[in-house]
Amino acid sequence: MTTRARRSQQDRTKATTDALLSTARGLFVEQGFAGTSLGAICERAGVTRGAFYHHFSNKEQIFREVYTAEQQALVAVVRRAFRAQDDPWDGVIAGGRTLLESSLEPAVRKITLVEAPVALDWNAMRGIHAGCKEQLRTGLTIAVEAGCIPARPLAPLTSLLYGAICESALDLAHAADERATLRDTLSQLELLLIGAAGRQTPGCAHRS
Amino acid sequence: MTTRARRSQQDRTKATTDALLSTARGLFVEQGFAGTSLGAICERAGVTRGAFYHHFSNKEQIFREVYTAEQQALVAVVRRAFRAQDDPWDGVIAGGRTLLESSLEPAVRKITLVEAPVALDWNAMRGIHAGCKEQLRTGLTIAVEAGCIPARPLAPLTSLLYGAICESALDLAHAADERATLRDTLSQLELLLIGAAGRQTPGCAHRS
DNA sequence: GAGAAACATACAGACAGCATGCATCTCAGC
DNA sequence: GCTGAGATGCATGCTGTCTGTATGTTTCTC
């Protein structure tokens, strides 16, 4: 028996799963899902593969948990930006802007935009409810209900806008001048949104 | 010596590489890049792994060749749609529409949109010149030069529009009513393009 | 101290890539 | 036209690594 402090089972579990999750996140960002071995995760986390398989069913599951945490954090930020605006349509614009800016973080970009679509299949991603795309759609729905923009097929519009933002975030990773490109991207995004609104956005400050 | 027909080395090479490429394409579509083993490709192609490694340096390379062929075919279709219009801006609209419609093909979608970003890194994809994104940008450049739309930061705008189209193509794969959703997506895409044009698109039929 | 939970170790099957050897083709020189 | 040496196409076996499982050992809980 070493001098190791006695810990409750809960504490032990939390310590090892936290260590595994955070090192896994780091490695997934650095080397991608396929490029990261369980051995590497465990070694860096200071546990054995036996411990890993005690807490996670397989490699996909730990990625799913990392991804879910990432999504929830993102959604929280975007939702806050949306709610900070009085006009729902301004909220959509602010949310889109915030999503784009948040996606500049390399870790967010790599995990949520690049690796997730392959590591998880479409249904698994769909299952992680309340993703950013869903949030965007909710914003659009509220904007329509409030009469800010005419009724539209919102599912297709959501995909278009979400895709526009995500692809831009990926591209920004390789831009020579990130600040300037971000500024230009935001200006062009607003143009597209004006098109989506089908008006010059005079404002309509009723909240639902 | 069996009754096997004598073949030139060129013929032999072409036969095996063609077999490998086409079966690889099929398996990549069905099971993805990581989910496809070289053994499976070779078995289905009727050759051994030795033959594979004689013609390709590794698994990534055969994917790259499959992807390149896919891209070239897509670009050709999009370019044709663009050139069929007199007005460059109409060409951009037609090109976007064609790209979206082409991406409905499950094989195209899976290989170019889902697997490629992970199997190949960003630089490898960038290296395969004359991709669809580049084609879109060229169209926008011509439209600006022809005076159809005001000068704009085209790189960000290209990313936005390209991402919008690709994400929609992915989403269409899971739509309940694909035809109706495609119709709605195209109508919303045109709204965004009107926003990008910054005008009501009265037409400007000078070609460069 | 018995049972459960956390963790470690040993192992099996699959896979990518390499090395080496055999089969088939090509072509110069006769 | 024939031949043999070299080049090219292809097959087989091996190695290291990886995921996932089965089973053993330690640590905690009651």
pLDDT at residue B149 above 80? yes
Hey, what domains does chain A have and what are their CATH numbers?
9-56 (1.10.10.60), 59-197 (1.10.357.10)
Flag if B160 and A173 touch (Cβ within 8 Å): no
pLDDT tens figures, B36-89: 999 999 999 999 999 999 999 999 999 999 999 999 999 999 999 999 999 999
Residues 6+ positions from A169 with CB-CB distance below 8 Å: A100, A103, A104, A109, A113
Alpha-carbon span B16 to B146, nearest angstrom: 48
Q: What is the pLDDT of residue A10?
A: 82
pLDDT tens figures, A2-33: 334 567 778 889 999 999 999 999 999 999 99
Alpha-carbon span B192 to B185, nearest angstrom: 11
Residues 6+ positions from A43 with CB-CB distance below 8 Å: none
**Nearest CB to A191: which of B34, B118, B196?**
B196
Nucleotide showing the shortest C1' distance to residue A60 CA = D19
Token pair 């799963």 is found at A17
End-to-end Cα, chain A, rounded Å: 63
Compute the mean pLDDT over every residue in chain A, rounded to the nearest whole number: 89
Which nucleotides in chain D lie closer than 7 A to a protein CB? Answer: 8-13, 17-24, 27-29
Distance from CA(B10) to C1'(D21), angstroms, rounded = 48
Nucleotide showing the shortest C1' distance to residue B53 CA = C17
Token pair 């007005």 is found at B87
Alpha-carbon span A159 to B163, nearest angstrom: 9
Alpha-carbon span B181 to B95, nearest angstrom: 19
* Residue of chain A whose alpha carbon sits nearest to that of B188: A157
pLDDT tens figures, B157-200: 999 999 999 999 998 988 889 899 999 999 999 999 999 987 65
Alpha-carbon span A46 to B29, nearest angstrom: 38
Distance from CA(A151) to C1'(D19), angstroms, rounded = 50
Select from A157, A48, A54, A71 the least CA-distant residue to A117.
A71
